[in-house]
Amino acid sequence: AQKITQTQPGMFVQEKEAVTLDCTYDTSDQSYGLFWYKQPSSGEMIFLIYQGSYDEQNATEGRYSLNFQKARKSANLVISASQLGDSAMYFCAMRDPGYSTLTFGKGTMLLVSP
Amino acid sequence: DGGITQSPKYLFRKEGQNVTLSCEQNLNHDAMYWYRQDPGQGLRLIYYSQIVNDFQKGDIAEGYSVSREKKESFPLTVTSAQKNPTAFYLCASSIGAGETQYFGPGTRLLVL
């Protein structure tokens, strides 16, 4: 069974600094996908970034990048130049072997201060 | 604007009553999903549907039922058999199974 682990219950960063949110995963499959979502206090889940297991380069989307280390089974989210609006819960998720559904981690709460 | 709508945003019900949560999408997505989120927890999959008139149980389907009669609609019924229904419910859709999922705003259900 797949498992996603986010070991940081909460992170605190000052505005304009970079922050890394950790995600490790456990799977025996060679082909898989990893996703990061943001959940602000309103509750809606917002897709941020995707990394495929066979992608040769780390994914980037604007201020978001994914530090993908396949051998270590980690897919950490890096947010550069944090903004106050980045304060939210962040969830890492993995696509299951049947390519149908996602397994989510428990999330990390990020607080950005002025 | 294309998107996913869930209604209502807040829902209150008495214990023992069935309640149906609405989820509609106009993204022309084939796959739709229902998740449950409890405080301080990640999302857990209740049901998913890859195509009209077909759906599969997720990890926590007991006490829930769904239908998929139309491509754009995937309502979730929380039955009286669900022991602890108070939670935040999120609906999502994707172009196809395994593709990136996009979420609606969610419904907070409180059973008194």
Mean of pLDDT values over B44-54: 95
Contact yes or no for B56 and A100 at CB 8 A: yes
CB neighbour list of residue A63: distance below 8 Å, 6 or more residues apart: A79, A80, A81
The percentage of chain A sitting over the pLDDT mark of 90, rounded to a whole number, equals: 87
Instruction: For residue B91, give the nearest of B51, B47, B33 by alpha carbon.
Output: B33
* Best residue in B27, B37, B48 for a mutation probing chain A (most A CBs within 10 Å): B37
Contact yes or no for A100 and B97 at CB 8 A: yes
Contact yes or no for B43 and A104 at CB 8 A: yes
Residue B100 exposed, middle or buried by CB count within 10 Å (0-12, 13-18, 19+): middle
What's the rounded Cα separation, in Å, for the pair A32 and A30? Answer: 6
pLDDT tens digits along A43-94: 999 999 999 999 989 999 999 999 999 999 999 999 999 999 999 999 999 9
Instruction: For residue B43, give the nearest of B92, B5, B99 by alpha carbon.
Output: B92
Nearest to A43 among B41, B88, B102 (CB): B88
Contacts of A107 in chain B (CB under 8 A): 41-42
Residue of A nearest to B101 (CA): A47
Under the banding of pLDDT at 50, 70 and 90, the label for residue A29 is confident
The percentage of chain B sitting over the pLDDT mark of 90, rounded to a whole number, equals: 83
Contact yes or no for A101 and B48 at CB 8 A: yes
pLDDT at B90 over 70: yes
The percentage of chain A sitting over the pLDDT mark of 70, rounded to a whole number, equals: 98
Under the banding of pLDDT at 50, 70 and 90, the label for residue B98 is confident
Both ends of chain A: CA-CA distance in Å?
Answer: 41
Instruction: For residue B52, give the nearest of B70, B34, B65, B66 by alpha carbon.
Output: B70
Contact yes or no for B58 and A101 at CB 8 A: yes
Residue A7 exposed, middle or buried by CB count within 10 Å (0-12, 13-18, 19+): exposed
Mean of pLDDT values over B11-29: 94
Mean of pLDDT values over B26-35: 96
What value does the CA radius of gyration of chain B take, rounded to a whole number of Å? 13
Mean of pLDDT values over B73-95: 95
Instruction: For residue B45, give the nearest of B90, B103, B107 by alpha carbon.
Output: B90
pLDDT at B2 over 80: no
pLDDT at B34 over 80: yes
Instruction: For residue B17, give the nearest of B78, B86, B64, B65 by alpha carbon.
Output: B78
Nearest to B100 among A42, A44, A47 (CB): A47
Nearest to B42 among A43, A101, A107 (CB): A107
Beta bridge partners of A10: A109
